[in-house]
Amino acid sequence: MSKLLKWLSMSLVVLFMLAPLSYGETVKIIAEDDWYPYSAKIENSAKGIGVDVVRAVFKAEGIDVEFETMNYDRGMAMVKDGQAIGCFDAPRTKEIEANYLWHDEAMFPAASMIYAPADYSGSVKSVADLPGKILGLTQGYGYGDAIDSNDKITKEYSKSDDVIIKKLIAKRVDFIVLFEKVADYLLSKEGLQGQIKPVGPVESAQIYVAFSKSNPDGQKYRDIFSKGFSKIKADGTYQKIMDQWDAQLKAASEPAVAK
């Protein structure tokens, strides 16, 4: 065998060996850019509880994920129009149920509370107490059917949770709704602890990746996600992610002990 043939043969062997590494499947999923600790753009990459869960789910099925971070409203619109395969963190509510494909089991529940200014002396037993009051909400977020489908509440929407917090402190709205983990993070980050307080519960939102009905790969990756999620629940990976985040968030919320 000539040197050229030997070289070609060796090259083909090497290429076949490397092929699985070079041509692994990758899916692009949109991650919300401003909802930490669930999902946010931090140091130019997606980070959060949802990010870790989505990555682990697809990894269980042998698929890598490329996250594209953007505004939640924009991401959901792209998925609805078929320009993207999936977006998270999406609450599965009646308002948007028919627009997307949903995997079998929610990634996690996100608990939320009604917040009032710190000097408010009353309490709110439920959303039923809110008619006649101005409720500050963040544009594009889903808060559950009790709020989203309630036309008796006066709702004032703003572009971010930071804005509605500032509106509440300035008493431009009577109440706001914040997801608890998000509230804890933002109030600590902005040094606003003690200026607002939770006064009543809201139903927890079940959080999903919303998959596209219009994109040709939407159904495929919805099914893959359902299978992968079952796997990471069964093998303990899911609980490990949740425990790590609980520990991380608890440590971040505790004041530093002076030495």
Every domain of the chain and the residues it spans: 23-108+206-250, 110-204
- As a whole number, mean pLDDT of residues 218-244 equals 98
Q: What are phi and psi of 104, to 5 degrees?
A: -65, -40
Structure confidence at residue 154 (pLDDT):
93
23-108+206-250 and 110-204 in the same fold = yes
Structure confidence at residue 171 (pLDDT):
96
Lookup result for tokens 């490397």: 18
**Are residues 141 and 147 in contact, defined by beta-carbon separation less than 8 angstroms?**
no
Which pLDDT band holds residue 141 (cuts at 50, 70, 90)?
confident
Structure confidence at residue 191 (pLDDT):
87
Tokens encoding 250 = 């608890």
DSSP 258: P
Structure confidence at residue 23 (pLDDT):
44
Structure confidence at residue 148 (pLDDT):
86
Tell me how long the chain is: 259
Which CATH code is given to the segment(s) 110-204?
3.40.190.10
**Whose CA is closest to 208, among 103, 59, 98, 68?**
103
- As a whole number, mean pLDDT of residues 184-191 equals 88
Judge whether residue 230 has pLDDT over 70: yes
**Are residues 185 and 164 in contact, defined by beta-carbon separation less than 8 angstroms?**
no
Which pLDDT band holds residue 24 (cuts at 50, 70, 90)?
confident
Tokens encoding 80 = 């609805």
Judge whether residue 89 has pLDDT over 90: yes
Structure confidence at residue 18 (pLDDT):
46
Lowest mean pLDDT among 19-28, 86-95, 127-136, 169-178: 19-28
- Taken in order 91, 94, 98, 101, the sign of the CA dihedral is positive
| Strand order, beta sheet including 39-42 | 34-35, 39-42, 45-47
Which pLDDT band holds residue 122 (cuts at 50, 70, 90)?
confident
Structure confidence at residue 1 (pLDDT):
52
Judge whether residue 258 has pLDDT over 80: no
DSSP 216: T
Candidates 3.40.50.920, 3.40.50.150, 1.20.1260.10, 3.40.190.10; CATH matching 23-108+206-250: 3.40.190.10
Judge whether residue 257 has pLDDT over 80: no
Strand 39-42 relative to strand 45-47, pairing: antiparallel
Tokens encoding 140 = 């594009």
Judge whether residue 223 has pLDDT over 80: yes
Judge whether residue 13 has pLDDT over 80: no
Lowest mean pLDDT among 45-54, 72-81, 141-150, 233-242: 141-150
Judge whether residue 115 has pLDDT over 90: yes
- Give the global pTM: 0.81
Which pLDDT band holds residue 94 (cuts at 50, 70, 90)?
confident
Beta bridge partners of 202: 112
227 Cβ contact list (under 8 Å, min separation 6) = 60, 61
Crossing angle, helix 161-169 and helix 180-190, to 10 degrees?
Answer: 70
Say how far apart CA 162 and CA 187 lie, in whole Å: 9
